[in-house]
Amino acid sequence: MIESSYQQSVLRSNLFVVWNEIVKNIKTLLAYPTIIVFWAIFPIFWFIPFILQGQAFVGGLESANFAQITGSGEYVPFIVIGAVLNSYVNTLLYGMGENIRKEAYQGTLDYVLAAPCNKAYVLIGKAISESLSSTIFAISQLTISVLLFGMSITLGVMVPVFFIVILLILGLYGIALIMAAFSLMYKQSYDLSESIGYIFYIFAPVRYPIESLPTWAQIFGKLIPLTYALIIVRSFMLLGADLSTVYLEVIALLIIDLALLLAGFYLFSWMEEKTRKSGAISHH
Amino acid sequence: MDKSNREYRLREVNCPTGFNWGNLKAELKAVWESNVKDWKIEFAYPVSFIRQLISPLVFLLPFLLYGIALVGGRYSENLAQLVGSGDVVTFIFTGYMLMGFIGTAVWAMGFSIRRESWFGTLEAIYVTPSSRLGQVLGMALHSTVHQTLGTIIQLIVIYFTFGLALKIEGILPALGIFALMMLALYGFGIVISALGLILKEGWVVSDSLYSIMTILSPVAYPLIVLPTVAQQASALFPTAPALIGMRSFLIENYHAEAFGNVFLHLLALGAAWILFGVVVFRLTDVYVRKRGLLKKF
């Protein structure tokens, strides 16, 4: 009986940590409204050149070669979906890694790490707040794209898409945890995030079908969670496919997520212990 | 201490003032030292240095692979109808080659002053007896050389992977156009660095301007696919006329889509942007010092 109420209290305290981390991050974001407007609108400007390039090269809104490779010749929704899902990479990868560094810059990292709570819950709070803001920005970008480029989206399609986005976020959490771990020890997480961002940008089918890459690069690309998320979401939204058609990709995404999360949590705990012992936490 | 005193004369620092050879030489030395300082910082972070060297290539590849996926090869019938040449690889490469230099103006120059503020060295720089613009130009020099190295790597990789059909005899005039474009871009960069002095979240403005300039520059598409208003707006920035001018010298059968005499256009833009940049920078400089805004970031 006593043990059960103790467990309840521990759970409540941990949820309290997660909740307050979310509130803190949202408050910080709301303090900079220009940044909210920027992330909600400006990523669209980054893919407009690709749409204009398409118009110049094929002289219309459909490409016969694209249709042969992907099953759909419409390159505009292809680009929009790629850009919106890739925005999760931008915000989650850079956001999580930098979040830890920001605590160090602001002089609060020592307090966070010395607080009598499990640090995994602090990270979960940070991850959930980053996911919330990323989703709000993604919805905004998608809505503007629908209005600008006349894409049609139904609620029936968006439900499974939402499920896949959650799986993508889980995989990115794993990578972000690995980067946060390196950030604790080696500080310059920015270069690591940027380099991983480059790999995603080239090897995942963000702007072009994965079949456009050489075979070795396709194999490498298939280790990235974003690749599967893009293939599945495009199959739902552009080809009208259902879960039975893409179940293999969903299973692959689940396996990659699991591996990344396990590696992330293990590495973070290990690095945290190491930095505590070496006293490297307060260095920046 | 009496001015005729020997010790006074030894301590005296002669700072050349006014527009004369001595002053110009001192300012050029400050520009050079600022450039050297940036290289030293750069080499202290080798991973960052290498990452930035290959970044022009990383950002070019998606444009190339996407273009090839769209047309199923390297020849686009539609592009040939629009500009006279249908070689998508050469077209995109000659366009994207210049994109990094927009980044030089917007990021390296625009954020040179802001970075000093983050490092905590801005106030020290502000009290040195040299022009603040010299600091910005020093960092611009470093960034231009850095970007040039990245572009050379880009050229080598693309040449050996995809092959490029460039007119060798067009390289010299193309370099002339490039120099004129850089002059105007430096003016643009000075404006951004002035904004960086006032705005707390200046990167938002820089990134927004960079995004708009990217769309208005015919990097991976001819200018003709843009709406008329955007085509007219692109004439205000140096990249669109420079890209069109360079392509007409470098690509076989390419016919320029707009702008008439590109050299005169770029000269006018260069003079206008530099003048505008220097005036805005001076005004901002006086404003932030009067208000004591330097310390805030």
| Of A254 and A177, the one with more pLDDT | A254
Residues of chain B in contact with residue A48, where contact means CB-CB under 8 angstroms, are 215
pLDDT at residue B99, as a whole number: 80
pLDDT in tens, A215-258: 999 999 999 999 999 999 999 998 888 888 999 999 999 999 99
Q: Would you state the torsion angle of the CA atoms of residues B213, A137, A142, A236, taken in this order, to the nearest 10 degrees?
A: 130
**CB within 8 A of A193, min separation 6: which ones?**
A93, A94, A97, A98, A179
pLDDT-derived band at B172 (thresholds 50, 70, 90) equals very high
Which of A168-172, A275-279, B239-243 bottoms out in mean pLDDT, i.e. has the lowest? A275-279
Task: Please indicate whether, in this complex, the C-beta atoms of B63 and A50 are within 8 angstroms of each other.
Answer: yes
User: How high is the pLDDT of residue B202?
Assistant: 67
Closest approach of A78 to chain B, Cα-based (Å):
11
CA–CA gap between residue B136 and residue B130 (Å, rounded): 12
DSSP B236: T
Q: What is the pTM of this model?
A: 0.83
Number of Cβ pairs closer than 8 Å across A and B?
116
The shortest CB-CB distance from B51 to any of A58, A195, A213 is to A195
Summarised one tens digit per residue, pLDDT across range B67-107 is 999 999 899 999 999 988 889 999 999 998 888 788 777 77
* Alpha-carbon gap: A83 to the closest alpha carbon of chain B (Å): 12
**Which stretches of chain A sit within 8 Å of chain B by CB?**
32, 34-35, 38, 42, 45-46, 48-50, 52-59, 63-66, 68-69, 75, 188, 190-191, 194-195, 198, 201-202, 206-209, 212-213
- Is the model's pLDDT at B7 over the cut of 70? no
pLDDT, tens digit, 9 for 90 and up, residues B20-35: 787 888 888 888 988 8
- pLDDT grade for A268, boundaries at 50, 70 and 90: confident
Question: Residue A279, exposed/middle/buried by CB under 10 A (0-12, 13-18, 19+)?
Answer: exposed
Cβ proximity of A253 and A167 under 8 Å = yes
Contacting A with CB below 8 Å, chain B residues are 45, 47-48, 51, 54-55, 58-59, 61-63, 65-72, 76-79, 81-82, 88, 92, 201, 204, 207-208, 211-212, 214-215, 219-222, 225-226
ipTM passes above 0.90: no
HEC string for chain A: CHHHHHHHHHHHHHHHHHHHHHHHHHHHHHCCHHHHHHHHHCHHHHHHHHHHHHHHHHCCCECHHHHHHHCCCEHHHHHHHHHHHHHHHHHHHHHHHHHHHHHHHHCCHHHHHHCCCCHHHHHHHHHHHHHHHHHHHHHHHHHHHHHHHCCCCCHHHHHHHHHHHHHHHHHHHHHHHHHHHHHHHHCCHHHHHHHHHHHHHHHCCCCCCHHHCCHHHHHHHCCCHHHHHHHHHHHHHHHCCCCCCCHHHHHHHHHHHHHHHHHHHHHHHHHHHHHHHHCCCCCC
Of A71, A83, A80, the closest CA to residue A200 belongs to: A83
User: Using CB atoms, which residue from A52, A64, A195 is nearest to B221?
Assistant: A52
Is the model's pLDDT at A190 over the cut of 90? no
State the smallest CA–CA distance between residue B246 and chain A in angstroms: 19
CA of B203: which chain A residue's CA is closest?
A35
Average pLDDT over residues B220-236: 91
Sequence-separated (6 or more) residues with CB below 8 Å from residue B211:
A42, A45, A46
Question: What integer best gives the mean pLDDT of chain A?
Answer: 85
**Residue B75 phi, psi dihedral angles, 5° rounding:** -115, 125
pLDDT at position A129 over 80: yes
B221: nearest CB among A56, A194, A212: A56
For A201, which of B58, B71, B214 is closest by C-beta distance? B58
Give tens-digit pLDDT for A18-38: 999 899 888 988 888 888 888
A34-55 pLDDT tens trace: 888 888 888 888 889 999 999 9
Closest CA to B270 of B178, B180, B136, B174: B180
Each residue of B198-224: pLDDT tens digit? Answer: 776 667 777 888 888 889 998 889 998
Find the residue in B nearest to A33 (Cα): B201
Q: Do B211 and A55 touch (CB under 8 A)?
A: no
| A49 closest CA partner among B97, B203, B212 | B212
Band (pLDDT 50/70/90 cuts) for residue A166 is: very high
Indicate yes or no: CB of A42 within 8 angstroms of CB of B226. no
For the cut 70, the answer to whether the pLDDT of residue A57 exceeds it is yes
Query: Are the C-beta atoms of B134 and B33 separated by less than 8 Å?
Result: no
Cβ contact A207–B66 (<8 Å)? yes
Which tens digits make up the pLDDT trace of A78-93? Answer: 999 999 898 888 777 7
* Identity of the amino acid at B115: R
- Cβ–Cβ of A66/B62 closer than 8 Å? no
Measured in angstroms, the CA of B184 and the nearest CA of chain A are apart by: 23
Contact: B62, A32; criterion CB under 8 Å: no
What is the DSSP code string of B71-121? Answer: HTSSB-HHHHHHHS--BHHHHHHHHHHHHHHHHIIIIIITTHHHHHHHHT-
Give pLDDT, residue B286.
85
